[in-house]
Every structure is written in C-alpha cells, then in structure tokens.
Amino acid sequence: MPELPEVETIKNELLPHIVGRQVNGVTLFWEGIVRQPSVEEFCPCLIGQRLTGLARRGKYLLFSLTSGEVLIIHLKMTGSLLLKPASTEADKFVRAILHLDNGTEIHFRDPRKLGVMWLVKDVDSVVGKLGPEPLEAEFTPQLLAKRLANRTAPVKALLSDQTFIAGIGNMYADEALFAAGVHPLRPGGSLSSEEVEHLHRAIQQVLWSAIGNKGASVDTYFRPDGTLCTAHFQFQVAHRLSGKFCPVCGTPIERIPIRNRGTYFCPHCQPET
C-alpha cells in the first residue's frame, strides 16, 4: 500500500506538470471510485476547473481547484496515478482519467478497485481526524511521548493508526520499530523516554530515506512516470519472507499478525521486555 513516502513522491512528481492546468474532461471506467458527491455531479463540477495546487495530508492527495473546492484522492492498497500523453490507451486496471488542457492525462490505475476520490469544499470532512504529520516541525519527541502515554495498544498498531499519526502504514511502522529497537507488541505507554526519542528519530529517518528513494514499489505501486521506486531495497525487516535473516545480528526475522497485518521484526534486536 502506498504510504507517506509514496504519496509524497507522487505529489512532488505530479506537481510541476499539473499546476495551472485546466481539467477538460473526466472519463470514469469504474463509478465506485467516486465517493462524494454523486457521479452525476462529480464530472460536471470538475470539468472546466483549473488545478491551483497539490498537497499531501497523511496518505491523501489534495488537488486544490479554482472554485475553492478540493479534489481528494486516496490510493488505498493498489492505486497509482500515472501521467500519460493524451489519448494513451488505458490498460484494464485504469478506473478514471483526468484529461488536462496541455495534452496530458492523469490515469488513476487501481487493480483492486479500492481507491477513492472526493470533491469537497470542506477538506476536514475527509481528513479532519488525522493525527500529526510525522515530518512536520510540530511532531516532536515530546508530542510522541504525550500521544503514547497510557496507551495499552501495541505500539505497532498505534503507529499504523492514521488518527494517532498520519501517513505511516504497515511497511514503515515495521521499519521504524526495527530502527528504534522496539518490539512491535510493546504497549505504547510502556516505552521509556529514551525509547520514545529513538522511535521519533527512527520514524523521521525511515520516512526521509524512503522519500529519497522515491518510495517503495511493493504490490502494484508506480511513480507517475510509470517507473518503479527503490525504497523497498533498503528495507531491513518489512516484507521479509520467512527464512530471511536480520541484517544486523543474523537472527531469523519473525512474522506475527498484529490487528490482522503481518508484522516483521527481529526478536534479538527488538526484545519484548
């Protein structure tokens, strides 16, 4: 699933090509991709508007429009946004196309049909409940400590909870916990202040490093130009198949389910107590 580094990469790479462009048309191959408003309203509301900006909040992309409305896209498990020359034949997994006025198109490709688009005036109606952005100045070790305090849920579950902290999912939660030497099942409130500081630093390092590698191409994720990303080559534990060994100590990586998500960790470098 695209997480913060992948969505940030899409934002950075689409931005110079789309700002100031007018949406000349919308093609929907799968109407279920439109969450709000109705499909009948969505296309006419979008057509004729200019894209005035593109931002990211958590795993959401926010395209601002001349009307003051915002087109919000969530790629969910398997979505990608591909920038193509006009009249490129859409492959069978493309669910929607935005036709721009400069001879390009944005193809919303999504094999599992889980991705969503909203066209809203009030952005907070979609993203208002998200937790802090982990790469913003407001996200300090003190803030992380405050949010972890008294929490009994496993720290892995908290890190991938979008209302706890925005943008981190299964992959980068595993990577950050490994880098911090924290066992994923530790209750959030049990971390010492030193461990919280390590975790804070690990979260930022893991995310910045992945952004530097333009995200990770796990499953079906592509950059807007259709190329793959390379962050997954740097993964220490995430998505390691059974039989792989910890790159630090050589212990076999373990996989356990936490809230139904496969969680990878090193039992030696991330002790449970």
Q: Which residue numbers are catalytic? A: 2-3, 59, 261
By CB under 5 A, the count of residues binding Zn ion is 7
The whole-angstrom separation of Cα 194 and Cα 199 is 9
262 Cβ partners below 8 Å, 6+ apart?
Answer: 170, 255, 256
CB of 91 to Zn ion, least distance (A): 41
CB of 198 to Zn ion, least distance (A): 15
| Residue range at the interface with Zn ion (CB under 5 A); choices 16-24, 52-60, 198-206, 262-270 | 262-270
| Residue range at the interface with Zn ion (CB under 5 A); choices 4-12, 122-130, 166-174, 243-251 | 243-251
Site membership for Zn ion, residue 228 (CB under 5 A): no
Q: Contacts with Zn ion in 33-52 (CB under 5 A)?
A: none
Site membership for Zn ion, residue 266 (CB under 5 A): yes
Give me the DSSP letters along 212-255.
HTT----TT---TTS----GGGG-SSTTPPTT-B-TTT-PBPEE
| Residue range at the interface with Zn ion (CB under 5 A); choices 92-100, 153-161, 207-215, 241-249 | 241-249
Residues engaged in binding Zn ion (CB under 5 A) = 246, 248-249, 251, 266, 268-269
